[in-house]
Structure 1
Amino acid sequence: MSLKRDNQAEKREVTSIRNDYVRSVEMEGQRKKAHRVRLFRRLSVFGVLVLMATIWVGSTIYAQSQTISEKELLREETLQELEAVEKEQSQLEEQILLLNDEEYLAKLARKDYFLSDEGEIIFTTPTDEEKDEEKPAEEE
């Protein structure tokens, strides 16, 4: 029987008292709830802004690191080219010094252009490449 009484007691509706205290407590509860909702909204907006700023900063840093690595590669290539040019320049400077020497010029002219001194006879001999080309033809 006690169960029936409890069920009947639960089914009864309790009417609230509408006095000033109850209204002020309800209004305070509504204010706290509204404040909590506004706080959650502000924190959500702030969180989204922080997330967007973080993504922007991260992408900027990534792009700059890519640019830096590309410039480092370009710098290395340029340094290698510089070394090659400096080496070529030193060879050309040596050649300039040799070309200023009359004996070297005379020797170079005799070798490349088959010029001769007075009373000198020039004989041409086959080069090693011509000898290599002739050997396989003779062997067959």
Structure 2
Amino acid sequence: MSGTPPNRKVTPLNRKKMSDKEQERLAIREQRRKRGLRRRLTVIGIVASIVVVFAGIGLISQYGMIQANNAEKIELQEQLEELEANENDLEREIMNYNDEEYITEVARKDYYMSKPGETLYQLPEDEDEDDDD
């Protein structure tokens, strides 16, 4: 009983050849796994690059819009200041027109009106004063 019986039709396997074939299969399987890993990493890298590019484009366009809005804001603030100054002038003018002394002064100066019994004389302006300027 030392060995295999002679009448069996089983051939003994060469373990060295079997292990070489197994190693070859394992090597092929490992190569396929690495190739698949490389492909997945490449696809992930491409997708990540595309996402970064689109995000960058979005940020750049947003930055441009922010700059345009800031410029418009500054322009509108300047207009607001001008309008507020104009409003103050108009309010002062309204207050003056409600004052009888101011109305009297304007009527006498611009329209040459006088009080009853009063005579107005218009004097020529000095030309000497104009030459000094």
Alpha carbons of 1:125 and 1:62: their partners in 2 closer, same or farther (altered >3 Å)? farther
Q: 1:86 is matched with which residue?
A: 84
2:50 to 49, 52, 61: 52
Question: For each residue in 1:33-80, what CA deviation from the matched residue of structure 2 results, as whole angstroms up to 9, or x when unmatched?
Answer: 111111111111000111111111112112112211221222122222
SS in 1 for 2:107: helix
TM-score (normalizing by structure 1): 0.69
Amino acid across the alignment from 2:22: S
User: 2-side partners of 1:33 and 1:126: how far apart?
Assistant: 111
Aligned residues: 115
In the alignment, structure 1 segments of 5+ residues that lack a partner are 1-17, 136-140
5+ residue gaps, structure 2: 1-15
Counterpart of 1:104 in structure 2 is 102
1:116 aligns with 2:108: no
Residue 74 of structure 2 aligns to a residue in which SS? helix
Q: 1:127 to 1:24 in 2, by over 3 A?
A: farther
| Whole-Å separation in 2 of the counterparts to 1:92 and 1:75 | 25
* Matches of 1:84 and 1:121, distance apart in 2: 43
Distance 1:70 1:118 in 2: 64
Taking the aligned partners of 2:30 and 2:123, their CA distance within structure 1 comes to: 111
Aligned-pair CA distance for 1:127:
6.4
Deviation, 1:117, is: 2.1
User: Distance in 1 between the 2:125 and 2:36 partners?
Assistant: 96
Question: Is it true that 1:33 corresponds to 2:31 in the alignment?
Answer: yes
Q: Which 10-residue stretch deviates more, 116-125 or 41-50? A: 116-125
Deviation at residue 30 of structure 1 after TM alignment: 1.0
